Amino acid sequence: MNGHSSIPHAGLVSLVGAGPGDPDLLTVRALRTLQEADCVVYDRLVSPDILALIRAGAYREYAGKGVGRPSAEQQSINARLIALAGQYRRVVRLKGGDPFIFGRGGEEALALEAAGIEWEIIPGITAAIGCGAYAGIPLTHRGLAQQVTFVTAHRAAAEEGVDWASLARAGSTVVFYMGVGEIPTIEEQLQRHGRCGNTPVALVENGCTPVQRVFSGTLNSLAALAQEVALQAPALVIVGEVAGLGLRPLSSLIPGVAAAA
């Protein structure tokens, strides 16, 4: 938490991770904060079941961002959080997953710091951890994966700085966030940089929710698999030998969840 606010009587802003979808995966502190909130600014990936846990009477405001959809600009969200902190005692910025893992929580924290607003971070289970677990995929496993890398794949084909050679190394697990539109690029670049085409892969759509779908295949047919199953965002792409273990946890059997293919 930072120091004193430059805005008289400004409230506290809590950056709260809602986890990957299942409300049972909220932390105790996150739940308590939602039930104490005066104002909640929430993202597109926060489920209705989690929104239902917000204190009755709290002001709610949607500030979701989605690929290909009209969405709030990050600077506007930052400014809105600052303004709301001047109106409410307890403001919650509620984000799917973890605010500091591809959630722009750092940008919001910097803006709050610059405005002199007191803030705190309440971590959430990031999508890779939760969805991997519910799909029965341990992201690290002795003899198969000694490291795991999280990558934002959004616009991967156009952005510089993606170290494909590093991602293609055997003995590692790579989890691509926001990668539905970049699946052909993922398949091509990993193989071009040396990852074996027979490397197991998994696609996890709407992970940790009652409509979760999990599909298994190999890297050399990743794009074809995604097209065959009509994969839709939000979805994760998991690449690595661990994706071929074929585990079936009971947590994947939440009502309505499709079994892995």
Residues designated catalytic: 43, 65
Alpha-carbon distance 18 to 34, whole Å? Answer: 10
Strand partners, 233: none
Q: Are 182 and 164 in contact (CB under 8 A)?
A: no
According to DSSP, residue 141 is labeled B
239 forms beta bridges with 174, 201
Phi, psi of 172 (to 5 degrees): -135, 155
The rounded distance, in Å, linking the Cα atoms of 64 and 193 is 35
Residue 202's closest CA among 189, 188, 221? 221
Give the tokens for residue 184: 């052909």
Expressed in angstroms, the distance from the first to the final Cα of the chain is 45
Distance from C-alpha of 189 to C-alpha of 184, rounded to nearest angstrom: 9
**Can you say whether residue 171 is alpha, beta or left, with left for phi > 0 and alpha for psi between -120 and 50 degrees?**
left
CA contacts within 13 A on the Cβ side of 38: 13
Q: How far apart are CA 120 and CA 116, in angstroms?
A: 13
Q: How far apart are CA 201 and CA 225, in angstroms?
A: 10
